[in-house]
Amino acid sequence: MTTQSALGIDIGGTGIKAAPVDLTTGQLLTEPHYFPTQPSSPDMIARAIRGIVTNLNWRGPIGCGYPGVIKNGVALTAVHLSKEWLGLNVGEVLGRQVGREVAAINDADAAGVAELRFGAGKDCGPEDIVLMLTLGTGIGSALFAGRTLVPNTEFGHVYIESTEAEELAAASVRTRDELSWEAWGQRVNRYLAEMEKLLSPDLIIIGGGVSENFELFQPFLSTRPPVFPAMLGNNAGIVGAALWAVERK
């Protein structure tokens, strides 16, 4: 028998979202539970997640997206989180609180996995290079070659004319600096042009909360490959984390 549902958790730089997901359709089975990431120490986040698991009385598989590099389960970076995460096995830290195994994956990789399965990348062919970029507090990336994930790409940290991409084009920068959609869209376009130059993708998927406002900045994008908004919107990370709980390699 295959597992039909899993709890997906998405730890973001600003908030943590979680919901049970139907793994056959990619639909959330409840509205996402949300709480702020701050304070972002391992202990505080693990306790908050335990609260959700207890609340839902969840007994099935659990997957979690983490906003940094995850290598063999261990957090190697923590740009927008407490540095206490560095070197910790994320699944183990969370698993100790919730009393069961938790599978951890980079948050943008999770969003990409979900979009390839159920969303904007579902019809991609075996030869296609697909780049997913999540524009949120920071910028996350997921790269797929022939539908296979190349994990832990960190394209939010490339430099464009001496400015880090996250500092140029994250969604948080638009609100922080009160940029118009046009001014910000042009920045995103510069960033995408650089990614196109480096990777020659066949498709670019834009995720994060801004995917819901895609039509406001799409007019300023001029890359050769098509650019689509994440079809699962800001829930892609939750759905991908849930898939990871049962499908991780």
Residues forming contacts to ligand BGC in the complex (CB under 6 A) are 13, 67-69, 77, 79-80, 106-108, 134, 136, 138, 140, 154, 156, 166
Provide the Cα torsion 235, 135, 47, 110; round to 10°.
Answer: 60
Closer Cβ to ligand BGC, 5 or 152, answer by number: 152
Shortest separation between residue 67's beta carbon and ligand BGC, angstroms? 3
Closer Cβ to ligand BGC, 115 or 166, answer by number: 166
Closer Cβ to ligand BGC, 5 or 109, answer by number: 109
Closer Cβ to ligand BGC, 5 or 107, answer by number: 107
Return d(Cα 102, Cα 216) in angstroms, integer: 37
Q: In what order do the strands lie in the sheet with 129-135?
A: 148-150, 139-145, 129-135, 203-207, 227-229
| Sign of the four-CA dihedral 220, 152, 154, 138 | positive
Closer Cβ to ligand BGC, 5 or 149, answer by number: 149
Shortest separation between residue 136's beta carbon and ligand BGC, angstroms? 6
Provide the Cα torsion 228, 105, 135, 50; round to 10°.
Answer: 120
Return d(Cα 203, Cα 12) in angstroms, integer: 24
Closer Cβ to ligand BGC, 5 or 70, answer by number: 70
Closer Cβ to ligand BGC, 5 or 16, answer by number: 16
Nearest to residue 242, comparing CAs of 5, 4, 32, 8? Answer: 8
Shortest separation between residue 141's beta carbon and ligand BGC, angstroms? 7
> Beta strand pairing status for 159-160 and 163-164?
antiparallel
Shortest separation between residue 108's beta carbon and ligand BGC, angstroms? 4
Shortest separation between residue 83's beta carbon and ligand BGC, angstroms? 13
Shortest separation between residue 2's beta carbon and ligand BGC, angstroms? 29
**Residue nearest ligand BGC, Cβ-based:** 140
Shortest separation between residue 4's beta carbon and ligand BGC, angstroms? 28
Beta bridge partners of 6: 21
Return d(Cα 139, Cα 107) in angstroms, integer: 10
